[in-house]
């Protein structure tokens, strides 16, 4: 009998399954609205022009080599990422209260945070609270690391906006000193973000209840085109003197999906805590990846450290976020013009890569089987998959299915 005979089948990953189905579909009308990666108006992956420039610079660097990065990662990336997320003038950075370690993109940052919290959370029986719904991998990562995972209300499924009272109530009613996972901006899968005033209320409850915030920031600059606006919540919590962990990904905002470039930041209330925390994060990183991956870090580090390239990057992000916003507005306008039953303003109001359309699982199935239109079963579409060539077809398909 096989040594592996008792290994049970793992549950299928919905998004990966969808991608396989979509790839196998050769119909000319096919539209893939599942994949969480930016596409340009011709439906193609987009290498940011600024990334091209950074790559050229690296290719021409006579001192370049393929040595291991040091423990902690590439300083050009980690120091640039710190300033990007907390602000160049952040008192927390100036006070030496922030430690940043390079990770395997945002997913790796989540996993390092999950393992670190499992080992050092206070109290040890604290659960991790995730939004309902959230990025599918959050539960998987935190459960894999051994945490109990619970949910707080987030989406109002009637208005497809934020259920702020439900969220605040759940965070208030949770036992004290829990871990709360928050999306810094461009909530995945709903595209629903709290307003600045609502973030203040969320911070109030988290502080009152002694919860520990873990921010997952996978879309900074990609959401609004403004890196400072997208970091509002994180900077608000830091300004209030709160401690936290922050996962940061450069997959979406720099288009470095496959390069697996990201960071995990720990913000402590005193600099005294940093040596021990950094030593543990370095140990965990050493035990899992030994050293971080170099190529994407060199690209992102080059962009972050050079004022001209940095400004060009901000323009590139603006282009992505504007195109997505245009597609949101167009889809809403077309559905309204078709007289499609229901209200569609939420498509425009939501933000970031995704829109939670409100389509039912059954409607999603019909769209897939009869119209070759691929989206996740919860009705989430990747707005980046829409373009001027397919928007009429998508609007008409949704219209027919909703009627
Ligand atoms: N966190 C959230 C909320 C995401 O949406 C994603 C990607 O979809 C990630 C983390 C991780 O992305 P990556 O590991 O590609 O940086």
pLDDT in tens, the chain (403 residues): 999 999 999 988 888 889 999 999 999 999 999 988 999 999 999 999 999 999 999 999 999 999 999 999 999 999 999 999 999 999 999 999 999 999 999 999 999 999 999 999 999 999 999 999 999 999 999 999 999 999 999 999 999 999 999 999 999 999 999 999 999 999 999 999 999 999 999 999 999 999 999 999 999 999 999 999 999 999 999 999 999 999 999 999 999 999 999 999 999 999 999 999 999 999 999 999 999 999 999 999 999 999 999 999 999 999 999 999 999 999 999 999 999 999 999 999 999 999 999 999 999 999 999 999 999 999 999 999 999 999 999 999 999 999 9
CA of 253 to the centre of ligand 1 (A): 11
Alpha-helix residue ranges (DSSP H) falling in 124-264: 136-144, 164-173, 196-208, 227-230, 232-239
Our answer to whether residue 135 is catalytic in this structure is yes
Token pair 């109030």 is found at: 204
CA of 12 to the centre of ligand 1 (A): 18
CA of 396 to the centre of ligand 1 (A): 31
Q: Which of 135, 199, 313, 344 is catalytic?
A: 135
For a pocket test of ligand 1, which of 19, 112, 189, 249 has the largest count of ligand atoms closer than 8 A to its C-beta? Answer: 249
For a pocket test of ligand 1, which of 108, 135, 233 has the largest count of ligand atoms closer than 8 A to its C-beta? Answer: 135
Buried b (16+ CB within 10 A) or exposed e, 305-318: ebeebbebbeebbe
Evaluated on CA atoms 74, 77, 82, 85, the torsion sign reads negative
| Atom of ligand 1 at shortest range from CA of 187 | 3
Nearest to 373 by CA among 349, 352, 396, 356: 396
């Amino acid at each position: 009998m096989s040594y592996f005979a008792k290994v049970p089948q793992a549950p299928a990953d919905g998004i990966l399954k969808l991608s396989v189905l979509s790839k196998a579909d050769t119909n000319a009308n096919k539209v893939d609205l599942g994949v969480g990666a930016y596409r340009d108006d011709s439906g193609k992956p987009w290498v940011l022009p600024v990334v091209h420039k950074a790559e050229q610079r690296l290719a021409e660097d006579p001192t370049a080599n393929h040595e291991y990065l040091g423990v902690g990662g590439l300083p050009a990336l980690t120091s640039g990422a710190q300033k990007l997320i907390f602000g160049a003038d952040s008192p927390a950075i100036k006070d030496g209260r922030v430690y940043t370690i390079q990770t395997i993109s945002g997913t790796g940052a989540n996993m390092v945070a999950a393992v670190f919290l499992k080992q050092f959370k206070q109290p040890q029986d604290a659960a991790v609270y995730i939004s309902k719904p959230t990025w599918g991998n959050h539960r998987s990562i935190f459960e894999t690391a051994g945490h109990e995972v619970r949910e707080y209300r987030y989406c109002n499924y009637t208005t497809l906006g934020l259920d702020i009272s439900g969220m605040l109530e759940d965070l208030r009613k949770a036992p004290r000193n829990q871990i709360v996972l928050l999306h810094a901006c461009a909530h995945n899968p709903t595209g629903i973000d709290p307003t600045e005033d609502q973030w203040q209320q969320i911070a109030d409850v988290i502080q009152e209840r002694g919860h520990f915030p873990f921010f997952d920031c996978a879309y900074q600059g990609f959401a609004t085109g403004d890196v400072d606006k997208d970091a509002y919540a994180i900077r608000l919590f830091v300004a209030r003197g709160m401690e936290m962990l922050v996962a940061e990904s450069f997959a979406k905002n720099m288009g470095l999906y496959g390069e697996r470039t990201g960071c995990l930041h720990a913000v402590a209330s005193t600099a005294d805590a940093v040596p021990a925390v950094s030593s543990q994060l370095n140990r965990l990183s050493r035990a899992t990846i030994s050293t971080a991956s170099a190529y994407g870090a060199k690209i992102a580090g080059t962009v972050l450290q050079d004022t001209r390239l940095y400004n060009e990057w901000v323009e590139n992000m603006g282009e992505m976020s504007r195109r997505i916003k245009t597609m949101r507005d167009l889809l809403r306008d077309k559905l309204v013009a078709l007289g499609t039953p229901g209200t569609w303003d939420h498509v425009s109001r939501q933000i970031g890569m995704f829109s939670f359309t409100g389509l039912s699982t059954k409607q999603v199935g019909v769209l897939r089987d009869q119209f070759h239109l691929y989206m996740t079963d919860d009705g989430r579409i990747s707005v980046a998959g829409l373009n001027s060539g397919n928007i009429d077809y998508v609007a008409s398909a949704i219209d027919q299915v909703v009627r």
